[in-house]
Amino acid sequence: MSHHQFCLKWNNHSSNLLKVFGRLFSNESFTDVTLAAEGRSIRAHKMVLSACSTYFEQLFLEHAEPPVTGPMIVIMRETSFDDLAIIVEFMYKGEINVSQDQLGSLLRTAESLRVKGLAQASS
């Protein structure tokens, strides 16, 4: 009996996931969390938010028990909806275009949410 192992690799795995996440976000498919700020809301996926933000990861872990039935709603006090929307887009697409006027506020919000790739100490 042979005990050889074979490595099967999907070369486009990362780019495919990025495309799929972008499509799921655009279509709001399979969302399980709603982020609300300034009277407006964004539907998203806990898995994506927690992978990109230690703030969200900790928040979702703290509220994992008992299981939430239906989508969770997170009210983001003292957070600009525009900043939040841009940051969520960054989480799904890996890049964003921001005006110089928005940059300071956006980076402060990213820092408070500990967004990987935007915050200083996002480990």
Residue pair 53/96 in contact (Cβ under 8 Å)? The answer is: no
52-71 pLDDT, tens digit per residue, is 999 999 999 998 777 667 77
pTM (predicted TM-score): 0.86
Query: Residue 121 pLDDT > 80, yes or no?
Result: no
CATH number among 3.90.550.10, 3.30.710.10, 2.60.40.420, 1.10.3450.40, domain 13-112 = 3.30.710.10
Which helix (H) or strand (E) covers residue 109, if one does? Answer: helix 100-112
Non-local (6+) Cβ contacts of 44 within 8 A are 25, 31, 33, 34, 35, 88, 91
∠112-114-116 over CA atoms, to 5°?
Answer: 145
17-65 pLDDT, tens digit per residue, is 889 998 998 998 999 999 999 999 999 999 999 999 999 999 999 987 7
77-103 pLDDT, tens digit per residue, is 999 999 999 999 999 998 999 999 999
Q: Where are the domains of the chain?
A: 13-112
CA atoms 56, 58, 59, 64: torsion sign = positive
